[in-house]
Structure 1
Amino acid sequence: MVTFSGNVTVTGMPQSQVVTGTGCVGSGGTCDPNGTVSVSGSIVTVPLTNIADVQVINVQINGVNGASNEPAVNVNIPMGFLTGDVNGNRVVNSTDVALTKSQVGHAVGAGNFREDVNANGTITATDVTIVKSDVGHALSNACQLHVLIAYADIGGPPTTLHDQIAAETGVVAVDYFDAFNGTPTLAQLQQYQIVFAFSNNGWNNATAMGDVLADYEDGGGIVAVSTFAWDNRGPWLLAGRWITGGYGSYNSTSQTNFTSNTANITMPSHPLMAGVTNLTALYRNGVTLVSGATSVADWTDGPPAVAFKANSGHTAVSINAYLGSNPMNFSGQWGKLIVNEGRWLLNCSGDMSTSDK
């Protein structure tokens, strides 16, 4: 059951599907090729069957629409299945056994329904036996990451960066949004765990783009922004709340540093830099850090290369390098860096790698 912020319709075909993991949409062991869901106002219920234990799956609801004047979007929902994990901490151990024992003979209710492990409406010694048999099972903290690249670049999408991101462990989808010709809605961004935004030409609406990135980050989304979003010589300068509200790490500038440079990784043990040994780029700006920002890599000619900043309990990464393809003048593990941000901030410890893929 998924609850949205307002009433929705689901118009896709199939309406829903299991996109990663073992199992399907359906009931009683029979898969439904139409992925039929039930919708009641803001609540969408997806029936699942044949779901294997000890796994994280991704369920996609297709064609979710919250307003007639907005495009329908596909929504991905990761969920874990672990029999016997009655306290929901992703591991089955003696604590789960003790919790189940403590509820034997009690009526099943909202506070102890997990202890009814076999879901037969009662909590008995059978449930305790099931939990005991699953002690030692655990779910990996590895995340299933969906990444959106929002680019304002009339030369086309950043295919090299796309392929770097897509090759990373745990990344299940990398999509594009043309931010020169439009501005994504919050609902569109919320399909993704990570949004990477950059400009080489003017944003379709720089203020609206900055506002929606801030809204997305406020809701727990992971944001990375790169060059030329801080270059104040033209319409590629990002605006809106993401800038005025203190989400970014850099002050805007008109200074350009258009020479190839390899960054000095000043904090190699930081989670952002796991497996990152080289960051090289040509198109850069002479940015400076805003108050409260922390640099983890600096260009040898002075400006920061990669920095992060916390704002109201959420953190975003700022990258001082053009990572597009028009022309493509960068090398190193930039895609890994962007994925590392999601792994770090979403606590995806199962995905952290210290070697290059």
Structure 2
Amino acid sequence: NLGNFTLHPAGFDFHASWFVPWIGSQGAICVAGGVDAAAVVFPDTQCYDLGAGAFNAPNADLGPMLEGVWGTADGVLYENGDYQLWVADGADAGFNLWPRSMYYSRNDGQWHYGPNPLYGVYRVEGDNVGDGNGCDFYVVTGSAGGFNPTTYNERNTSASDECPPVAGADCLWLGEVPTSTVIPAYGTVHPTMYFTATPDVGVDQPGDYICKLKLQGDPAVNVLVTMTVLPAPTWGKLEGTVTGLGYCDANPAPLEKATVLITTTTGMTWSLETDEFGHYQRWIDESESPVSILVSYPGYETGLATGVVITGGVTTTVNFDLRWLQPCVSVTPDVIDVTLNWGESATTSVEIGNAGPVALDFLQTEEDRGWQPYLLGAPVEVTIPAGPATAPAGTAVAAGPYRPAPERIQTIRPRPAPNAAPNVLLLNADDDNDYGSPIQAMLLAFGDLGAVDLYDARSGTPDLSYLQNYDVVLTWSNYVYADPNAIGDVLADYVDAGGKVINLMFSMGTHGWQMGGRFMSEGYTAINGTSIIYDTSCLGTYDPTHPIMEGVTNVCDLYRLAGTYLTPDSTEVARWQDGELFVAVKDDRTVVSIAGYVGYYYQWTGQMDLLLHNAILWLAAPGDVPWLFEEPISGTVAPDGGIFPVEVTVDSAYVNQPGEYWATLHVESNDPVVDDYPVIVTMTVLPAADMGKVTGYVVDNCTGGPVEATITFQGGVPITQTTSDPDTGHYAAWLVEGTYPVVFSADGYLNYTTSVEIVAGMTITLDVNLVPDRPCIAVEPDRFEVWLITGTAVYTHETGLDIWNGGGQDLEFQFFEI
């Protein structure tokens, strides 16, 4: 037992090792490099002194290597009396293959880089098997990466010119007689050089054959030998270039390492590989003519030429253009611009083409790029009671620092409910089921959801038929699920059946409160991770264009997930400021994962309710534009010029105001370059003959700044509400002619009620100054001058000051003179 290395006491592996005879009285066993269990790679060395029976200090005998490596071949070479410790190949500190070598020289006590091996391998064996002159250091087999063994082997002949090649091992076509002899002083030897140009020594083609002949002597001498082999008179040259036609048969480029299989009339075959220029060649006896040529390359169609005649002394050129086996999409037209009268529709024929050599599969989706008048109700305040003083033992929140959430008032802008408001199930293992659910109250306040029901997952697991009563299922835990695996399995079944899921903390991770089953093991969740973070972080980087983040700029939470990562086929939407994932979605729009906790003991602040509401609508929305229709929405286009017609209809009956409406029709396909071909659609809807327009600006009565106000037209047709722009205060609405009471309202302002008479074909301007529900002082003029004659006792200015209160509350003021 030699004891333990002090170099890295925790242990290390895949190091080099040698017996070093000059250290100590009996030599030493030395190691160098290696890697530990934490994937740290070392350049250090340490030696065990056999005579002293102890380890010397790290790097005391050999010093550190030039760089940290592991998995190397190791061996000893003797070069001109110099004892050298060698390593070759292996992996570097970045776990990249290291096709290099280095050695320690006893003569100068330094490390040096050696020649570069031909192959990059690691976990490789090496040894000196010769007679001690260092000329027979071999590197054998090894892995090219992971568990990919090789049969490579190399011999070190570059370290010294004193190393002769192994007799007959390198240039079989070259021979020398004698191979060795003694030359007398001042003498000369004329060895006979033998050249062979036959297939049995590897010479089966005309061309130049080159060999370096090493003469071991004092000094060593290298002689470059070139043998030029001429073709026989009956041989002809077959050559050509293999070109890959790029995307849509454009941008051709040579294909390197394409396989060229030549078969002769007698059945002889040769398999060639193209060079970096896509070139191939072969000399063939005309007696083998005619020949066939089969060319293949991964991902490209096969090329075949038959009946190719070979003539002695003649070069025959056969080139190949291989098509990329991918579809090539086109869409005509790619812009649709239609103007309609109120209530009309129009249909345009769109042709989806495919110029590629394989079939094109397509699916059309829609993106709404224009807002209809947005119907917002008056703000609603939802009062959420303070959280309990303590968290129940055994819950996820009790495992970390808990503090009760204070009472809060959350302001929510209600939305008009769509024709089919989505029904939502809150499938939770939490006390929301017993004491009231804060997030349920907030979601209901938005006004555009259907049912928002609770299910207690602490005591049971719903079956698939129960879940299918809902459009979206939200799940979170704080207690352990009644059956974590059953919950995960049924939610995966629900998604497979067309359902949509939002999973939140603590349903993901590996901390003990997570769900299991197929939802987690098969990657239905978009986010997964490890333990719970009990530390507040706020919204960091996010995609502001994603509908889930619309209007969301401020969210913080105490309960989050550590070690987060995206599962396959998922896309990041937002991160916390500490870099952990916050929101991610599955690319097929089935699941949203939110690494935040919304249950009864919540600690979030900001707009978590809005974010969750947006996620519900994003999942539940049909994902299309209400006034845009395609028939069919998917299909397969035949290769090589196939055309698939699609009827695209725009219908103004599905909008409630004249104006321009914008959408993008996405033709998504298996085209490798243009997998999403956009078609820009514009529908301009003209007003009906009995319609007129009312427009204007809503501004603050005190400041003159824009106000985002709700404008309600009582009994209005076709709309009853619109809003003014928050940046400009502008609003506009088309209404059927008539007189309508109008109410202008905004948070923090007094309502203003008036009426408007809509005249067909006319535009009425109605500007409104909303009075803020507070005092608001204005003084005119803001300066004046008075000229008095010296000695005047009292003078009253004729104009004086006008002090005006533009607000809706009494104003108290007092003069101060400075």
TM-score, length basis structure 1? 0.55
Change in Cα spacing, 1:169 to 1:178, as seen in structure 2 (3 Å) is: same
What residue in structure 1 maps to residue 578 of structure 2?
A: 301
2:626 aligned with 1:347: no
RMSD over aligned CA atoms reads 2.9
CA contact (8 A) 1:142 1:170 kept: no
Q: 1:269 — aligned with what?
A: 545
Q: Is the 8 A contact 1:168 1:336 kept in 2?
A: no
Q: Trace 1:260-339 onto structure 2 (pairs within 5 A).
A: 260-286=536-562, 287-310=564-587, 313-325=588-600, 327-339=601-613
Gaps of 5+ in 1: 1-90, 97-139
User: SS in structure 2 opposite 1:342?
Assistant: helix
Determine the structure 1 residue equivalent to 2:534. 258
Q: CA deviation at 1:159?
A: 1.6
Give the CA deviation at 1:210. Answer: 0.7
CA separation of 1:339 and 1:232: change in aligned 2, threshold 3 A:
same
Shift of the 294–94 alpha-carbon distance from structure 1 to 2, 3 Å rule, reads: closer
Residues 127-168 of structure 1 deviation map (CA, whole Å, 9 limit, x = unaligned): xxxxxxxxxxxxx96641111101112574672211221122
Aligned to 1:228: 506
Over 3 Å counting, the alpha-carbon distance change for 1:279 and 1:272 in structure 2 is same
User: Aligned to 2:344, which of 85, 93, 108?
Assistant: 93
In the TM superposition, residue 321 of structure 1 has moved relative to its aligned partner by: 1.1
Instruction: Tell me if structure 1 keeps the 8 A contact 2:499–2:590.
Output: no
Partner of 1:258, secondary structure, is strand
Structure 2 residues without counterparts, runs of 5 or longer: 1-341, 348-416, 627-722, 727-746, 748-818
Q: Could you tell me how far 1:224 is from its partner in structure 2?
A: 0.2
Q: 1:174 & 1:141 partners in 2: Cα distance? A: 15
Task: Say yes or no: does 1:176 pair with 2:457.
Answer: no
- TM-aligned CA deviation for residue 183 of structure 1: 0.4
Q: Return the letter of the residue paired with 1:262.
A: C
CA contact (8 A) 1:141 1:347 kept: no
Identity %, equivalent residues: 35
Classify 1:155/1:145 alpha carbon distance in 2 versus 1 (closer, same or farther; 3 Å).
Answer: closer
Structure 2 counterpart of 1:266, one-letter code? Y
Alignment-derived partner of residue 151 in structure 1: 428
Q: CA-to-partner distance for each residue in 1:69-115, whole Å, 9 max, x for gaps?
A: xxxxxxxxxxxxxxxxxxxxxx963459xxxxxxxxxxxxxxxxxxx
Q: Match of 2:599, SS?
A: coil
Distance in 1 of aligned mates of 2:465 and 2:487: 13
Structure 1 runs of 4+ aligned residues shifted over 6 Å read none
- CA separation of 1:174 and 1:290: change in aligned 2, threshold 3 A: same
Q: 1:141 to 1:328 in 2, by over 3 A?
A: closer
Output the CA distance in 1 between the equivalents of 2:525 and 2:539. 20
CA distance in 2, matches of 1:142, 1:307: 28
TM-score of the aligned structures, taking structure 2 as reference length: 0.25
Counterparts in 2 of 1:142 and 1:278: CA distance versus 1, 3 Å: farther
- SS at structure 1 position matched to 2:527: coil
Task: Encode CA deviations 1:190-217: one digit per residue, 9 max, x unaligned.
Answer: 1111110001111111111111111111
Partner of 2:518: 241
2:602 maps to amino acid: M
1:183-202 aligned at under 5 Å gives the runs 183-202=461-480
User: Displacement of 1:248 after TM fit?
Assistant: 0.6
Task: Tell me how far apart the structure 2 counterparts of residues 291 and 217 of structure 1 sit (CA, whole Å).
Answer: 16
Aligned with 2:494: secondary structure?
helix
The equivalent residue for 2:200 is none
- 1:221 Cα deviation from its structure 2 partner: 1.5
Contact kept, 8 Å, 1:307 with 1:319, in 2: the verdict is: yes
Indicate the SS of the match to 1:149: strand
Deviation at 1:328, TM superposition (A): 2.2
Letter in 2 for 1:290: T
Q: 1:162 aligns with which of 423, 427, 440?
A: 440
CA distance in 1, matches of 2:499, 2:610: 18
- Does the CA-based 8 Å contact 2:433-2:455 persist in structure 1? no
One-letter amino acid matched to 2:550: A
Shift of residue 231, structure 1, vs aligned partner: 3.1
Mapped to 1, the partners of 2:475 and 2:483 lie a distance apart of 13
Q: Is the 8 A contact 2:424 2:473 kept in 1?
A: yes
Task: Answer whether contact 1:146 1:174 (CA < 8 A) is retained.
Answer: yes
| Whole-angstrom distance in 2 between the partners of 1:314 and 1:217 | 10
Q: In structure 2, how many angstroms separate the alpha carbons of the residues matched to 1:250 and 1:95?
A: 44
Partners of 2:345 and 2:509 in 1: how far apart?
56
Deviation, 1:271, is 0.9
Pair 232,317 (structure 1): closer, same or farther in 2 beyond 3 Å: same
Distance in 1 between the 2:497 and 2:470 partners?
Answer: 12
SS of structure 1 residue aligned to 2:591: strand
> Residue type of the partner of 2:426?
I
Q: Which residue of 2 aligns with 1:133?
A: none
State the shift of 1:220 in Å: 1.9
CA distance in 1, matches of 2:460, 2:603: 26
Distance in 2 separating the partners of 1:337 and 1:184: 26
Matched AA of 1:337: L
What SS does structure 1 have at the residue aligned with 2:462?
coil
